[in-house]
């Protein structure tokens, strides 16, 4: 059995998969794709993902791209099905947050950080406006509940956590969002939690 994660240490999308692999106690080899050096454009990597994005998982020859797709695969294949339950209601509720993570979280929170720390050529004001929408939505949702989608941790939380907890790197703050701060602490207290630069230790 061979498992490889093509990842970049500073990527929040990769962090979702590193956290899930740790939660599931699955061994894997990390293949560093340094986005600052444009490693993602190497023909060898393009052959795995023509969209030239990390994360990519090679699970014994099965090649998967996209953090949400990889999370769904790992959960259904290797256990903790309660983190992505089969009922239509639960799946749809979780999907709302997976889509929210690919839209508001990515274009707002992740983009603001990318502009600040990677000098990404994008509009900071637009990103900050979307970031505010994302934060308000999560704060509102978490005001009277512990988790975003269901009554327990699911992959919805994993999809939204890294870029939310990293927003200080985008010169934003969670000071006005106490419910989101509490949610982050709950995730960081889970058994086998791993962080990354900018997030609490331990780092994998
Ligand atoms: N929807 C994808 C987005 C992946 C993505 O945007 N990856 C970024 C790093 S966080 C990347 O590899 N960018 C390099 C590029 O676009 O060339 C996912 O959730 O995995």
The answer to the question of residue 204 being in a domain is no
State mean pLDDT over 22-35.
97
89 and 137 in one domain? yes
The answer to the question of residue 198 being in a domain is no
Can you tell me which residue has the tokens 């990677």? 118
146 and 127 in one domain? yes
| Percentage of the residues of the chain whose pLDDT score is greater than 90 | 97
pLDDT given for residue 50 in this prediction: 98
| 79 pLDDT tier (thresholds 50, 70, 90) | confident
Contact between 197 and 9 under an 8 Å Cβ cutoff? The reply is yes
pLDDT given for residue 92 in this prediction: 98
Contact between 16 and 163 under an 8 Å Cβ cutoff? The reply is no
pLDDT given for residue 198 in this prediction: 97
32 and 11 in one domain? yes
Expressed as residue numbers, the domain containing 171 is: 84-188
98 and 175 in one domain? yes
Q: Does 201 have pLDDT greater than 90?
A: no
Q: Is 8 left (phi over 0), alpha (psi -120 to 50) or beta?
A: beta
115 and 69 in one domain? no
Q: Which of 43, 61, 82 is the last residue of a domain?
A: 82
Q: Does 204 have pLDDT greater than 90?
A: no
Residue nearest atom 8 of ligand 1, based on CA coordinates: 53
Share the mean pLDDT of the chain: 97
Pairing of strands 3-7, 29-32: parallel
| 19 pLDDT tier (thresholds 50, 70, 90) | very high
Provide the CATH number for the domain around residue 176: 1.20.1050.10
State mean pLDDT over 190-203.
93
| 203 pLDDT tier (thresholds 50, 70, 90) | confident
76 and 132 in one domain? no
Q: Which of 62, 82, 102 is the last residue of a domain?
A: 82
Domain count of the chain? 2
- Which ligand 1 atom is nearest residue 35's CA? 14
The answer to the question of residue 195 being in a domain is no
Residue nearest atom 14 of ligand 1, based on CA coordinates: 53
68 and 88 in one domain? no
State mean pLDDT over 168-191.
97
Reported as a single tens digit per residue, the pLDDT across 99-121 is 999 999 999 999 999 999 999 99
Provide the CATH number for the domain around residue 53: 3.40.30.10
103 and 50 in one domain? no
173 and 124 in one domain? yes
State mean pLDDT over 47-71.
98
Q: Does 149 have pLDDT greater than 90?
A: yes
14 and 90 in one domain? no
pLDDT given for residue 16 in this prediction: 98
The answer to the question of residue 39 being in a domain is yes
The answer to the question of residue 145 being in a domain is yes
93 and 70 in one domain? no
**CA 64/CA 136 separation, integer angstroms:** 32
- CA of 20 from ligand 1 middle (Å) equals 17
Rounded to two decimals, the pTM is 0.97
**CA 171/CA 115 separation, integer angstroms:** 10
Residues lining ligand 1, CB < 6 A? 11, 13, 35, 40, 52-55, 66-68, 102
- CA of 54 from ligand 1 middle (Å) equals 5
Q: Which of 27, 60, 82 is the last residue of a domain?
A: 82
Contact between 20 and 71 under an 8 Å Cβ cutoff? The reply is yes
């Amino acid at each position: 059995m061979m498992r490889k994660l093509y990842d970049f240490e500073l990527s929040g999308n990769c962090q979702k998969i590193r956290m899930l692999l740790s939660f599931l106690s699955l061994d894997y080899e990390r293949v560093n794709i340094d986005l600052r050096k444009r490693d993602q454009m190497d023909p060898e990597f393009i052959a795995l993902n023509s969209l030239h994005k990390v994360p990519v998982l090679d699970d014994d020859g099965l090649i998967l791209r996209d953090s949400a797709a990889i999370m769904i695969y790992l959960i259904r294949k290797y256990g903790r099905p309660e983190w992505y339950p089969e009922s239509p209601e639960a799946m749809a509720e979780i999907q709302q947050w997976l889509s929210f993570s690919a839209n508001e979280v990515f274009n707002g929170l992740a983009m603001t950080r990318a502009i600040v720390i990677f000098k990404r050529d994008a509009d900071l004001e637009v990103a900050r406006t979307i970031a505010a929408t994302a934060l308000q939505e999560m704060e509102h949702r978490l005001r009277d509940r512990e988790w975003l989608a269901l009554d327990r941790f699911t992959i919805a939380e994993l999809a939204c956590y890294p870029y939310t907890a990293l927003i200080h790197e985008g010169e934003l703050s969670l000071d006005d969002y106490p419910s989101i701060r509490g949610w982050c602490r709950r995730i960081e207290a889970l058994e086998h939690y791993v962080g990354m630069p900018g997030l609490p230790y331990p780092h994998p």
